[in-house]
Amino acid sequence: MPGIDECLLEAMTVNGARGAALIEWTSGLALGMVGEVRDEDPEATAAETAELARMAAEQRAFAALGPGSDKSGADPDEADGEPAVEDVIVTTRTCYHLLRFVDTAFDSGVFFYLWLDRREGNLALARIRLRDLCGRLALI
């Protein structure tokens, strides 16, 4: 049964992967980090990334809309606090940044963060790999 480090190392096998982390978006705490560090203060970077995840998870603009949800945009599945957002993707001129929310059956507020070199990485494939990885992280 893999732990956090095994999951992070597996994420680093994605083509173009430069760094990976598991972060609490509720608090900004990095539970584990591997790979390259983008600046001198990786914890501050983790907290900033967590702030982006929090905004995406909590803004009503991104609440799930579809069958079974009312017009207010409130997702019935969100009663337990799990965000309706699956992932957040940021592209820059040189990198792809992927944030994937991890669904745990306890209140964790955790997301997986993977960043890639844009020349080597494939965004669509990386997203699928990350989705599968997060699915296997918890035994649900």
Partner 1 sequence: MSLPHRTGVRTGRAPSLTGLADERASGALLCDAGTVYLRDGQVVHAESPVAPGIEVLLTTGGRLTADSWREAVGRTGRTGGVGRFLVDSGRLSGAELEICHLGALFDAAYFALGHGSGPRGFQRGAAHWLGPVRPVGAVAVERETRRRGELLAALWPYPQVDTEPVVLRRPDGRAPAVTPRQRAVLALADGVRTPTRIARELGRPAFHTLIDIRRLAAAGHVATPRSARPEHPDRPGPPAGSAASAPPAPDRGPGAVVFTDPDIDLLRRLRDALEAAL
Nearer to partner 1, 72 or 92 (CB): 72
Q: Is 43 a residue that touches partner 1 (CB under 8 A)?
A: yes
Nearer to partner 1, 60 or 93 (CB): 60
Token representation of residue 83: 């965000």
Is 89 in contact with 123 (CB distance < 8 Å)? yes
In whole angstroms, what is the distance from residue 12 CA to residue 20 CA?
Answer: 7
* Binders in 57-116 for partner 1, by CB under 8 A: 58, 60, 74-75, 78-81, 102, 104-110
Is 49 in contact with 43 (CB distance < 8 Å)? no
Closest Cα to residue 9, out of 32, 42, 41?
32
Which residues of the shown chain bind partner 1 in the complex (CB under 8 A)? Answer: 1-4, 6-7, 22, 24, 26-29, 31-32, 43, 47, 58, 60, 74-75, 78-81, 102, 104-110, 136-139
